[in-house]
Amino acid sequence: MEIENEIRIVFPAKSCNEAMARMTAAVVASQLDPSAAEIIDIKTAVSEAVTNCIVHAYKDDIGKIEMTCRILKGSIFYIKIKDSGCGIQDIKKAMEPLFTTAPDEERAGLGFAVMESFMDSVRVTGGPGKGTCVVMKKRILPRTYRQAGCERNGSDNANERTEQ
C-alpha cells in the first residue's frame, strides 16, 4: 500500500514511555479525522503492544522499542511496534486469550486479544532470540460515513494471524 505519511520513534522500554507511545499514535492517526472511539481503540492497542515489550521482551533489562505509524492510502492507519528482546517461543500459543509467560506478576494474558478486538488486523512475527514485531492496521471511516450512520463492512474486521 502507498504510504501517505510516516513517523518512526525509538524509545527505552520503560513504563513511563507507554503513555508517550499512545499519544504519538493518536496524534498521527488524527490526520485521518477519526472518531473518539477510533482514537481510543488505537491508543488501547498501542498500550497493549508497548506493555508487552516492557514486561516480556526485556525481562530485567531496558531495551529499545521502535514504533512506526503510517497513514496509508485508503484511510488505513498502520502501526508497527518492534522490540529486539527475547522473542516469543510459540506465537500461536501466545495469542491465545489468557496465556501469559508472567503468571507470578498477575498478568491476565489478554494483550493480543485486546489488540485484535480493537484493530482490523494484527500480525505478530519473530521468534526466540529474534525479538517480536506487531503490525496492526485500522481503517478509519470517513466522517461522512459516520455522520450517515453507516456501519463497517464485516470483511473489514477480519483479523489476520501470522506466525514465523
Just list the catalytic residues.
48, 52, 107
Name the burial class of residue 21, with classes exposed (0-12), middle (13-18) and buried (19+) by CB atoms within 10 angstroms of its CB: buried
Q: What is the CA radius of gyration of the chain?
A: 16
Strands (E), 53-157: 64-72, 76-83, 121-127, 131-139
C-alpha to C-alpha distance for 10 and 17, rounded to whole angstroms: 10
